[in-house]
Structure formats: C-alpha cells, structure tokens
Amino acid sequence: MHVLPYWRLSGYYFFYFAFIGVFSPYFGLYLQSLSFSAWDIGLLMSQMQLMRLFGPYLWGALADRLAQRVAIVRLAALISLVGFSSFFFVRSFEAILLAMALLAFFWSAALPLVETVTFDHLREQSARYSRVRLWGSIGFIVAVLGTGALLDHLALPNLLWVILAALAGILACAALIPEAPPHPYTGDHPPVGEILRLPHVKALFASCFAMSAAHGALYVFYSIHLAGNGYSKSRVGGLWSLGVVAEIAVFLFMSPLMRRFGLRGILLASFAAAVLRFLMIGWGVGSLAVIVLAQLLHGMTFGAYHAASITAVNRWFPGRCQARGQALYSSLSFGAGGLLGGLMSGWMWDSAGAAATFALSAGFALLGLLLVAGWVRDDDPCAPRHGRQRADNPQ
C-alpha cells in the first residue's frame, strides 16, 4: 500500500510559499529603497513572470524525458539559493536584473514538478490535494506577518537575510521529498498539442492568463500602494495574511464545494470576485473596511480559482503529459499573464495612478469571466476524448 509522505510534501509547500510571503510583499519596497522608479521596479519584478513563461515547460519536458522530477527540484533549489546570494553584493539596475533572471529561471522549475509529484503520491485521492497545499498558505502567513513585524524595527536590507532563510528551507525540504512512480495508464496518449486544441482546454488556459494578468499590479504594487496611503508595514503584512487565511478556508472546503458547484460554477464565482476585488483595492484604499473585504476575496480569486484550475489540468493531461500540462499552466498563466500584468502596471502606475491601474486589473478579470462563461461547461470531459482512461480509475 502506498503511504502518502504528507509532512515532507507539506513542508516543501510551507517553505516555497514562505519565500513568496517574504519576497512578493516586501521586495518591491526594498527596490524602492534603492531609488528605482516604478517602471524599473515593475521590470525587475516581472523577471519572475518572464522566466515562468518558458522555464517551467523546459524543465517539465526534461523531467518527462528523464523521469527525474525530484532531482530537478533539488537542483533548482540549490541554484536558486546560490543565485539569490548575489543580491548581497549588487546594487546597479543591470546587475539586479541579471540576478533576478537567474533566480527566476531556476526557481520557476520547481513548483509544477512538485505539483505533479504530489498528485502521483495522492493517486486516486486527488481531493486531498488541498489539505497538502494549505501548508503553503500557512507558510505564507507566517512569513508575511513575521517579516512585516521585523521590518518595522529593522532596516529594509535585512529583508535579504529573511529571503535567504526561506530559500534554505526550500532546499532542505526538497532533499526530503521522495520520488513517486507515475500512475499506470493503458494505451497511447494524445500528444500535448492535440490536447491543447480542445476548446475547453484553450478556454481554461486563456482565462488563467487573464486572471494572472489581473493580479500583476497586486503582486508588484499592492504593498507600495498601501504604504503610500499611510499603512504601516505590520498592517501591510496583516492584510496580505488575511487574504491567505481566506485562501486556507477555501482549501479546507474545496472538495465539497467542487461537488456542489462544479468546475464552471467555481471559476465563474472566482472571476466575478476578482473584478470586484481590484476595483475595491484601486478606489477604496482610504477605507480599511473596504481593503479588508477585498483581501477576504483572495480566497476566491486565488484559492478557489487555483484549486479548480490545477485539478482540471491534472485530469486533462494524462500519463507522461502531466508534467508538461502543469508547466503549461504555470507558463501561460503565472508566466505570460503575470508578465503582461506586471509590465502594464509598471507602465501605468506613475502616469495614470493606482486607481486606473487596478481598474485595468478588473478588466483582465472580466475578460477571464467571459471566457469561462462562453466555453467552459460542467459537462466538459475530465480527460480528452480519446477513449483512453487511467488503469487505476476506470470510472
């Protein structure tokens, strides 16, 4: 009987998202302290999305070919740690841009492969994914709250040590994750290109692109937006954490929610919540109550949306296509979509202002809503229509 390595997988998610909890809310503030402009900050931070545009697919294809997913995860963790160390010594825009690109290229390799390994360990218990993934949300909360409190008393350059510690934790947990044998499948499987031509798959990926573009301004400028309107770093950290608390609540109840409302219902609600959320952030920053409510919507705009999307990708890309399917999801959404959203927000921030920038985010979310409404249906198949099913799940 296969035993799920629950705590080893959960530990990896904890530190992986702890890194994001330190990096995303506060690294923009660190760059601002180095006197970079909004466009410079947007361009530097967008390297994380740029490398996710093609990095995950390259690593995923290599992992599928070599059947060495965990080894690549460990290598990526090691080089990410070494690459980030350069931030202690560089200050120029060009040097930081190069260091960001190096960090992002290797860091982007890991999560799609870990997601695939996790589902292979879960086997037919894929509904338990949310219970593993929620430890990532807990790691984010611990990191964002702790770092916010720390930076209220210490200078911003100390942020680099906190980020380094999170990357060291990722490396330590990567060393403990066991490889999982892929699920047995019967027959041949359609090539990735054939799966991508299916209308519901194209609609899902296009809507995921739009959702990540919508979040571009949030991940680059949300902390700067709040700090510029008088919020302390501790309060900024608390607001980031509040959103992730809502995300955890959604993860805990995702399985019954999916059974009750279906894929289409979950996605429609998530995109509608995103339209409302970004309008509230852009135009309601003067009201703490409005900003709190907007952060609670993170449970829908990321938690429910991501859990539904990643489960669909896992089902629609069978067998040896799985790693590339997860990589495509990461590349097209967090990579291409996040890159566009980050660059557009950097371009608009100084010229058009925060309200207009977040209104653009709401527009991207509205586009995703229309794509889901038009082409994603509850009766879409859970796998491409080729008459091939997994041997361990003939249903």
How much is the pLDDT for 184? 56
Reported confidence tier of residue 388, pLDDT bands at 50, 70, 90:
very low
With respect to residue 389, please indicate whether it lies within any of the assigned structural domains. Answer: no
Q: Which residue has the tokens 């954490």?
A: 241
* Average of per-residue pLDDT across 359-378: 90
Q: Burial code of 234-261, b = ≥16 C-beta within 10 A, e = fewer?
A: bbbbbbbbbbbbbbbebbeebbebbeeb
With respect to residue 315, please indicate whether it lies within any of the assigned structural domains. Answer: yes
Report phi then psi at 180, rounded to 5. -120, 135
With respect to residue 383, please indicate whether it lies within any of the assigned structural domains. Answer: no
What is the tens place of the pLDDT at every residue in 172-199?
999 999 887 655 554 556 677 777 788 8
User: Does residue 362 register a pLDDT over 80?
Assistant: yes
Q: Are 308 and 372 in contact (CB under 8 A)?
A: no
With respect to residue 271, please indicate whether it lies within any of the assigned structural domains. Answer: yes
Least confident of 140-149, 282-291, 321-330, 339-348: 321-330
Q: What is the DSSP string of 247-274?
A: HHHHHHTHHHHHHHHHHHHHHHHHHHHH
How much is the pLDDT for 260? 85
User: Does residue 390 register a pLDDT over 70?
Assistant: no
Q: How many domains does the chain have?
A: 1
With respect to residue 146, please indicate whether it lies within any of the assigned structural domains. Answer: yes
Mean pLDDT of the chain: 84
Can you give the CATH number for the domain in which 201 is found?
1.20.1250.20
Share of the chain above pLDDT 70, in %: 90
Q: Are 21 and 75 in contact (CB under 8 A)?
A: no
With respect to residue 32, please indicate whether it lies within any of the assigned structural domains. Answer: yes
Least confident of 85-89, 117-121, 156-160: 117-121
How much is the pLDDT for 386? 40
Q: Which residue has the tokens 């299916």?
A: 198
Q: Which domain covers residue 220, as residue numbers? A: 7-179+189-375
